[in-house]
Amino acid sequence: MSSGNSQIKTISVALLGNPNSGKTTLFNTLTGLNQKTGNYPGVTVDKHVGFTKTKRADNEVKLQITDLPGTYSLFPKSLDEEVACKELIGFHSAPPDVAVVVTDASTLKRHLLLATQVIDLKIPVVLVLNMIDEAQKLGLKIDADEISRLLGVKVVMVNSRSGEGIDELKSKILEAKESTNTFIESARIETLKQDLKNYKDIVTAQFDADIDLKNKLNQFEEKDTFYRFKTINYIFARTVKSPLEGTRKLSFTIDKYVTHPVFGYLTLLFVLFSVFQFIFFLAEYPMDWIETFFSFLMQKTSDTLPQGEVSDLLVNGVLAGLSGVIIFVPQIALLFFFIGLLEDSGYMARVSFIMDKVFRRFGLNGKSVIPIVSGVACAVPSILGSRTISNMKERLITIFIIPLMSCSARLPVYTLLISLLIPDDAVLGILNLKGLTLFGLYVLGFAATMLTALAMKYIVKSKEKSYFVMELPVYRLPQWKSIGIIVVNKVKVFLWEAGKIILAVSVILWFLSSHGPSDTFGKVEENFAQQMTNVDGEEAKKDLIKKMESQKLEASYAGILGKKIEPVIKPLGFDWKIGIALITSFAAREVFVGTMATIYSANDSENISSVREKLISEKNADTGKPVYNTAVCLSLLVFYAFAMQCMSTLAVVYRETQSWKWMTSQLVYMSGLAYFASLVVYHIF
Amino acid sequence: MKTLDQLKPGEYGVIKEFTQRDLALKLIEMGCLPGEKIKLTKIAPLGDPIAIEVSGYELSMRKQEASAVMLED
């Protein structure tokens, strides 16, 4: 290892292929947890880069692998495909050293189109025949050596499930050379009557073509694709022997039920319902542990450190904030796990298939289903996921409505408020009543999503034709390891991205709620210090301290801010303390729980209990009744279900739509909806 | 002239040509080429979209799109 250190070289590898080619699973198998997420220049598509090592002779070589978005050809039909194509031709930065084209060996023919196009770009290519086990099960006989000879590139058979062929792939990447074969009709280029010398020039030209050239390129693309498939049919006939019929029996049988007029929709309802029951049920235990652990840690810290600012900042600022972040992890992990499961297994495509007609009525597309459903995890990646919708109107509507779906950041807010609303052991038959209420909130969010879409359908004008052409992949057993890696990466991103905001907000809040303008804030302390000397007995002293703490909070900067907005939110049943939480939640809604923790523990370091207990015992100063009664809890729940409280989402919407108008109208619409819905709910209950 | 949307589940057809340019470009790169044999595998519960088997895999599209795919007689 050490001998060749000076020789260490990094090779950049682009991993590309059709959607459903098993590309991302292969990427996860290759790089494991050694990944990072970045951005492509100019757009917000997540760029997944992973690293792995291999050896050439005795020298270590580092492979930097980029997982490009799935694409069917180098003539992009959606924004996602455009990103992949531009990366490959080196539109913004240097093109990759090697392109690995991943194909599904069991449906090889269609995948070879992209392979021949990439070969014609004249970059070194390795062709991966992925899911070779499945192809063998179907009785396909594939002559990889002959494919390699006819295409002029290295070919590797891989089973990314078992890891078979991975080492061979790594060494073939090192050996990859440009193919000497071409698959473009050279005479065809001249028909364009442009100064385009080769295939790469043509592919590049489409990105700034005028209408005239665009037309010519369209004609070129059609003829060129025909020509390629002629060659591909020849290659395919010589290299793949397949049994006549009767393939994919299992998938067809499953589909009989899953796309059945009755069972199909029942299955969908059952699947979604179970996912929510599971998330609530399974996440409860680890969340309890995390809560207990942090209570313990905070108690210990405040016991060990001398009383004062430092201890206060650590316990009520930093630790309170940290626990507010980490408590999310179980639910987020479970949510991403289930979404990964549904997508990987092929079920999501069926959902699109059976829902397209319904969604179309609402101005959407069957392809909107996946972004909308994944909206329950996080609006940000879901909005990016809407790039697969090629119709601009449908895409804009999808982007506009996704944040109304109840995302995972609302989950802790829901969880906390539901636990105030419903006793622990409430059940309805075998159903957990809390789970049922949670499900109800998701239904509420979904209803708002769809009704908004319907309204938008009549508002947004478009002449563009809508189409829906989508592959129904065969059902596959989910690849646990790959899903696991995705979950870990998502949690990591969450902990870092959301964590830093939540932590920062917590510390700022701690400061605002434990400090105030010296004239009024200081007076409270002085006042009570005097009274204190006049009081005897432990109980009376404790009462007095409590009174002082609450008056101090009121006099603090946070209190002043909360009081400022109190008149606006009073009709919704919210007091100034909730007002503080609402203000901070506009950065990100998950900050709510942390804010509550900070507000209610500020100046109260003697008594550390969970946020929930604190909220339950919170009494209205005037009436002496609990603040968090049914009406307030429901009003808050509804407010959080609808309000646009996420800076990241707004930023992504702006970048995706390239318009302030869309972003602002979304903010105004959702906030208005939240306000009026809460107003109505509060006055009904 | 017969179009793809007129097929019944289980029926076969051979693609002849397309009547929409944009759609043609998309379908061709998905392996729906003139001369290719296809089979209508299923119709979604609400009567639309449909799914066909083509070059060894299953592809779904709306009836409106299928009506732009002309079949050999």
Question: Could you tell me the pLDDT band of residue A323, with boundaries at 50, 70 and 90?
Answer: confident
pLDDT at A51 over 70: yes
Measured between CB atoms, which of A107, A229, A261 is closest to B45? Answer: A261
Return the pLDDT at B42. 92
pLDDT at A632 over 80: yes
Interface of B with A (CB under 8 A): 21-31, 33, 41-42, 44-49, 51, 55-62, 64-65
Q: Which one has a higher pLDDT value, A603 or A180?
A: A180
C-alpha A23/C-alpha A100 separation (Å) is: 10
Q: Are residues B49 and A471, on separate chains, in Cβ contact within 8 Å?
A: no
C-alpha A283/C-alpha A327 separation (Å) is: 10
A244 Cβ neighbours under 8 A, 6+ residues apart: none
Return the pLDDT at A610. 64
Instruction: Give helix then strand counts, H and E, for chain A.
Output: 30, 12
Measured between CB atoms, which of A106, A251, A469 is closest to B30? Answer: A469
Return the pLDDT at A413. 87
Return the pLDDT at A149. 93
Q: Under DSSP, is residue A596 helix (H, G, I), strand (E, B) or coil? A: helix
List the beta bridge partners of residue A432.
Answer: A427
Residue A624, amino acid? G
Q: Are residues A221 and B21, on separate chains, in Cβ contact within 8 Å?
A: no
* A368 in reach of chain B (CB within 8 A): no
pLDDT digits (tens, 9 = 90+) for A528-567: 778 877 777 777 777 777 677 777 777 888 888 888 989 9
User: A471 to chain B: which residues are within 8 Å by CB?
Assistant: 30, 57-60
pLDDT at A4 over 60: no
A500: exposed, middle or buried (Cβ count in 10 Å: 0-12, 13-18, 19+): exposed
pLDDT digits (tens, 9 = 90+) for A434-471: 878 888 898 999 999 999 999 998 988 777 666 788 88
Question: Could you tell me the pLDDT band of residue A1, with boundaries at 50, 70 and 90?
Answer: very low
Average pLDDT over residues A267-294: 82
H or E element: which one contains A514? helix A480-514
| Per-residue buried b or exposed e for B13-46, using 16+ beta carbons within 10 Å of the residue's own CB | bebeebebeebbbbbbbbbbbbebebbbbbbbbb
* A476 in reach of chain B (CB within 8 A): no
Return the pLDDT at A179. 86
Ramachandran bin of A171, using left for φ above 0, alpha for ψ from -120 to 50, beta for the remaining angles: alpha
* A107 in reach of chain B (CB within 8 A): yes
List all residues of chain A from 338 to 357 with a beta carbon under 8 Å from chain B: 349, 352-354, 356-357
Residue A571, amino acid? P
CB B13 within 8 A of CB B38: yes
Q: Are residues B55 and A248, on separate chains, in Cβ contact within 8 Å?
A: no
Return the pLDDT at A608. 43
Highest mean pLDDT among A234-248, A253-267, A484-498, A579-593: A253-267
pLDDT digits (tens, 9 = 90+) for A635-661: 999 999 999 887 778 877 887 787 889
Q: Closest-CA residue in chain A for B34?
A: A226
DSSP class of residue A491 equals H
Report field, pTM of the whole predicted structure over 0.80: no
Q: Are residues A77 and B26, on separate chains, in Cβ contact within 8 Å?
A: yes
Residue given tokens 């542990």 in the structure block: A289
Q: Are residues B59 and A353, on separate chains, in Cβ contact within 8 Å?
A: no
- The pLDDT mean for chain A works out to 83
pLDDT digits (tens, 9 = 90+) for A499-529: 777 778 778 878 887 888 888 888 887 887 7
Q: Chain B closest CA to A372's CA: distance in Å? A: 19
Q: Under DSSP, is residue A193 helix (H, G, I), strand (E, B) or coil? A: coil
Question: Could you tell me the pLDDT band of residue A280, with boundaries at 50, 70 and 90?
Answer: low
pLDDT at A572 over 80: yes
Q: What proportion of chain A, given as a percentage, has pLDDT over 90? A: 24
Average pLDDT over residues A308-321: 80
pLDDT at A266 over 90: yes
Nearest of A452, A458, A443 to residue A644 by alpha carbon: A452
Q: Are residues B60 and A472, on separate chains, in Cβ contact within 8 Å?
A: yes
pLDDT at B19 over 50: yes
Q: Are residues A469 and B44, on separate chains, in Cβ contact within 8 Å?
A: no
CB B52 within 8 A of CB B36: no
Return the pLDDT at A385. 72
| Per-residue buried b or exposed e for A167-195, using 16+ beta carbons within 10 Å of the residue's own CB | eebbebbbebeebeeebbbeeebeebebe
Return the pLDDT at A439. 83
Average pLDDT over residues A417-430: 73
| 3-state SS, one letter per residue, for chain B | CCEHHHCCCCCEEEEEEECCHHHHHHHHHCCCCCCCEEEEEEECCCCCCEEEEECCEEEEECHHHHCCEEECC
* A109 in reach of chain B (CB within 8 A): yes
pLDDT at A317 over 90: no
C-alpha A14/C-alpha A18 separation (Å) is: 13
C-alpha A683/C-alpha A635 separation (Å) is: 9
Question: Could you tell me the pLDDT band of residue A685, with boundaries at 50, 70 and 90?
Answer: confident
Question: Could you tell me the pLDDT band of residue A7, with boundaries at 50, 70 and 90?
Answer: low
Q: Are residues A356 and B30, on separate chains, in Cβ contact within 8 Å?
A: no
Measured between CB atoms, which of B22, B30, B44 is closest to A357? Answer: B44
**CA atoms A153, A159, A160, A163: torsion sign:** negative
> Backbone phi, then psi, for A346, in 5-degree steps?
100, 0
H or E element: which one contains A9? strand A9-17
Q: Is the ipTM of this complex over 0.90?
A: yes
C-alpha A486/C-alpha A337 separation (Å) is: 8
Question: Could you tell me the pLDDT band of residue A341, with boundaries at 50, 70 and 90?
Answer: confident
pLDDT digits (tens, 9 = 90+) for A212-249: 888 888 888 888 998 899 899 899 889 988 775 555 77
CB A148 within 8 A of CB A157: no
pLDDT at A117 over 90: yes
DSSP E strand stretches across A72-111:
98-104
Q: How far apart are the first and last CA of chain A?
A: 71
Measured between CB atoms, which of A110, A259, A358 is closest to B57? Answer: A110
Q: Are residues A226 and B57, on separate chains, in Cβ contact within 8 Å?
A: no
pLDDT at A606 over 60: no
A66 Cβ neighbours under 8 A, 6+ residues apart: A12, A13, A14, A15, A47, A48, A49, A87, A96
Q: Chain A closest CA to B42's CA: distance in Å? A: 9
Q: Are residues A467 and B61, on separate chains, in Cβ contact within 8 Å?
A: yes
Long-range (24+ apart) CB contacts under 8 A made by B14-20 are: B14/B38, B14/B71, B14/B72, B15/B69, B15/B70, B15/B71, B15/B72, B16/B70, B16/B71, B16/B72, B17/B70, B18/B68, B18/B69, B18/B70, B19/B68, B19/B70, B20/B65, B20/B68
H or E element: which one contains A633? helix A630-642
- The pLDDT mean for chain B works out to 91
Q: Chain B closest CA to A489's CA: distance in Å? A: 32
Q: Are residues B51 and A77, on separate chains, in Cβ contact within 8 Å?
A: no
* A467 in reach of chain B (CB within 8 A): yes
pLDDT at A602 over 60: no
Q: Chain B closest CA to A239's CA: distance in Å? A: 15
pLDDT digits (tens, 9 = 90+) for A366-410: 888 878 887 887 787 778 777 777 778 888 999 999 999 998 788
Mutation target vs B (from A469, A470, A474, A476; most B CBs, 10 A cutoff): A469
C-alpha A56/C-alpha A170 separation (Å) is: 10
User: B57 to chain A: which residues are within 8 Å by CB?
Assistant: 107, 110, 471-474
Q: How far is CA A565 from the centre of its chain?
A: 33
Size of interface A-B (CB pairs under 8 A): 109
Average pLDDT over residues A140-164: 91
Average pLDDT over residues B14-29: 89
pLDDT at A12 over 50: yes
C-alpha A293/C-alpha A152 separation (Å) is: 60
CB A649 within 8 A of CB A379: yes
Q: Which one has a higher pLDDT value, A51 or A163?
A: A51
| Per-residue buried b or exposed e for A404-418, using 16+ beta carbons within 10 Å of the residue's own CB | bbbbbbbbbbbbbbb
C-alpha B42/C-alpha B66 separation (Å) is: 13
Say how many CA atoms lie within 13 Å of A31 toward its Cβ. 24
C-alpha B73/C-alpha B2 separation (Å) is: 7
Q: Closest-CA residue in chain A for B47?
A: A357
User: B62 to chain A: which residues are within 8 Å by CB?
Assistant: 356, 467-468
Say how many CA atoms lie within 13 Å of A275 toward its Cβ. 21
Residue given tokens 């909730």 in the structure block: A578
Say how many CA atoms lie within 13 Å of A239 toward its Cβ. 23
Q: Are residues A77 and B55, on separate chains, in Cβ contact within 8 Å?
A: no
The tokens describing A666, both together, are: 């979304």
Q: Are residues A353 and B60, on separate chains, in Cβ contact within 8 Å?
A: yes
Measured between CB atoms, which of B25, B48, B51 is closest to A222? Answer: B25
C-alpha A136/C-alpha B20 separation (Å) is: 38
The tokens describing A425, both together, are: 């052991």
Mutation target vs A (from B15, B17, B19, B62; most A CBs, 10 A cutoff): B62
Question: Could you tell me the pLDDT band of residue A78, with boundaries at 50, 70 and 90?
Answer: confident
Q: Closest-CA residue in chain A for B28?
A: A225
Return the pLDDT at A428. 66
Q: Are residues B61 and A75, on separate chains, in Cβ contact within 8 Å?
A: no
